[in-house]
Amino acid sequence: MADLTALPARLLAGDSYTITLTYPDYPASAGWTLRYAVAGVDVKTWESTADGDEHVMTLTAAETAGLIAGTYNYQLRAILDSAAETIDRGLLAIEADLAALAPGASANYWEGLKRDAETALTALVAGGAVQMVTILGRQTMFRSPQDLMRLIAQCDARITALRHRTFGTPMRFDVVGMR
């Protein structure tokens, strides 16, 4: 179980977390509670319990296991009787529990497209110069193996960018004579 003293930037679905928060303006001993809400593909809320002036939130493995991976908005509110004040808001990344995924569930669009394009390239080379192939359930015509090789290279670039969390390499170019 992860013991934290601040709201995390990411959660792993299926993991347990204990978050201990201290806000001097909203002490738990004075009756304040904190409500932590996440909203994205799913919506989930947790409420704190008091430990002196501190607020303790327990996110169980069963509660986080149901969260679908993706980017969520989060909000932390302090509540006392009918008063409610938002303390913090932001983005939270929910990452999938890999042990709970079905085969192929973690493959992204570009990986699937590359796999199908490589299969189509093999069929195209074996069958001739112009051929209809099915890629991601759509029929497409490729005139030459080079067409598919360009598509595979594009998929490789996108997959690399996703893995390294970049879109590509920045480049500068000048256009001369254009008005």
Residue 147: pLDDT over 90: no
Is the pLDDT score of 21 beyond 90? yes
Same domain, 84 and 141: no
Question: Which structural domain, as residue segments, surrounds residue 157?
Answer: 109-163
pLDDT recorded at residue 42: 84
3 state SS of 1 = coil
H or E element, residue 93: strand 83-95
pLDDT at 170 over 90: no
Joined tokens for residue 95 = 């990452």
Question: Is 134 part of any domain?
Answer: yes
Q: Is the pTM of this model over 0.75?
A: no
* 102 is a domain residue: no
* Same domain assignment for residues 11 and 93: yes
Confidence of residue 162 (pLDDT cuts 50, 70, 90): confident
How many domains does the chain divide into? Answer: 2
Q: Is residue 28 part of a domain?
A: yes
> Are residues 123 and 92 part of one domain?
no
- Asked if the structure places residue 168 within a domain, the reply is no
Of the candidates 9, 2, 178, 1, the one whose C-alpha atom is nearest the C-alpha of residue 93 is 9
- Is the domain of 66 the same as that of 118? no
Is position 116 within any domain?
yes
The residue type found at 27 is P
List the structure tokens of 20.
Answer: 């201990």
